[in-house]
Amino acid sequence: MAGMRAALKITLTVALLQLCASNAYPFDYILKGEISERFYVVENAVNLESGRFDIDDTYNTLYVSPSMAFSFGSSVDGLLAADIECLHSIESEKDGVDVLLRSAYLTWRTGRSTVRAGQQPFLIGKGLILDNDEPGISIDYRIKGPYYSGIDAVIVEDSSPLASITLGYKPGFLERLELFGVWFSDEDDSIAEAIERIIGSKRSHSTGDLFWYGVRADLFLWDVYFSGIFMMQDGRINLKKGDRERHEGLSSYLMDVGLDYNFSDCFSAGAFLFLTSGDKHPRRGEFHSFISVIPYNPRTSIFFNGGINEQFSSDAVSLSGITPAGVIAPGIRVICQPSDRLSAEMTVALMLAEKRPSSKQKWYGWEADLIFAYAASKDVVLFLEADYFHHGDFFKTRYGRRPDPVTYLILGLNLFF
């Protein structure tokens, strides 16, 4: 089953192209695209192999993303989209080019149902379980009035299945209440790769079934907008190396809540609290660190997406934090938009260990992110991002000294056509 993902992508793409070429249905299409230029200056970034903060780099990335949206009559439509990524590192003098098929799917609408099949974006658990383009099928069903349901079936990695079910209610505009459940079966040794450093022994094979179940709420509480998700995780992990086997139970949780308030048409502010469970003794009995599949956490740029917190920086099944200690991250966010073209956003957050390995390792550090964006026209957007992460005593105790702060400076240009 190792080539299942590749075979599915090829089959779906060929089928879509054949359908587009046929004359059996009225065919309309729109060609679009985006060019994204990014220039990065990075200092003291984390080295994922050694765990130390010793990477300085200056590099440039260019993304070319063509797409074709098409339709067959009023009930069937689809999307073909690709990403061409060009990377040039000034420090290491390395160049690279990647071409990816991002999306190739059909959407069929009939009555109360919407069915989407193919390589498509999946957002499971608000993206904190899975946020990626994968081959699969998605079914949405409008039960009655504001009530709805959804089922997703996905192939992750090469051959690991994931399925989710959602029951929801929409009381108003931008509001929702949802109950959800998710199942994932490891068929690609993904869990072993994620936890081998934590358990202190490299395991060649792993299997396991992970389950998430929780509730999501996005509601207006008078003039305050509340957005939150809470989920529990259970499961069983089986690790095998040679003739030796190890079985681990899993019990963990995640919570992410935020409050936002618009003070005026051009100024808003909010506060959030992000929390995942940790494990003080990961080699003893049941495992309590929260495990995700391919997640994305937008709360901060460096800690959650710069490699420090492996769980929310990874393209594979991974654990919470640089160790399994979990994280408690309270923070604030301020957004100012003085005009339709100009906006500024600032986020400040503190990161603490949920399960402290020792009394001297209680906080990871704090982070401040600042983003400016300017829309020169409807097709041209310029932006500047500056991110700063200051290490706490968690890293000072680990390395014997406090590492130098991690800094990111990003200049960007987006062109839409």
Bigger pLDDT: 371 vs 13: 371
What is the per-residue pLDDT for 337? 96
pLDDT at 320 over 70: no
Q: Please report which confidence band the pLDDT of residue 22 belongs to, taking 50, 70 and 90 as the band edges.
A: low
Cα–Cα distances (Å) from 278 to 211, 251, 308, in that order, read: 17, 10, 15
* Percent of the chain whose pLDDT exceeds 90: 60
Q: Looking at 175-179, 196-200, 254-258, 412-416, which range is the least confident one?
A: 196-200
pLDDT at 102 over 90: yes
Residue 417 lies in a domain: no
Residue 295 lies in a domain: yes
pLDDT at 74 over 70: yes
Average pLDDT, the chain: 86
Bigger pLDDT: 86 vs 239: 86
pLDDT of 215-226, one tens digit each?
A: 999 999 999 999
What pTM was estimated for this model as a whole?
A: 0.89
Q: Please report which confidence band the pLDDT of residue 7 belongs to, taking 50, 70 and 90 as the band edges.
A: low
pLDDT at 170 over 90: yes
In angstroms, the CA 235 to CA 181 distance is 13
What is the per-residue pLDDT for 16? 59
pLDDT at 168 over 80: yes
CATH number at residue 347: 2.40.160.100
Residue 320 lies in a domain: yes
Residue-range definition of the domain harbouring residue 393? 4-412
Residue 363 lies in a domain: yes
pLDDT at 277 over 50: yes
Contact 211, 233 (CB under 8 A): yes
What is the per-residue pLDDT for 73? 82
Q: Please report which confidence band the pLDDT of residue 18 belongs to, taking 50, 70 and 90 as the band edges.
A: low
Give how many domains the chain has, as a whole number.
1
Bigger pLDDT: 3 vs 132: 132
pLDDT at 39 over 90: yes
What is the per-residue pLDDT for 3? 54
What is the per-residue pLDDT for 304? 87
What is the per-residue pLDDT for 70? 94
What is the per-residue pLDDT for 313? 47
Q: Looking at 44-48, 203-207, 263-267, which range is the least confident one?
A: 203-207
Residue 262 lies in a domain: yes
What is the per-residue pLDDT for 332? 98
pLDDT at 321 over 50: no
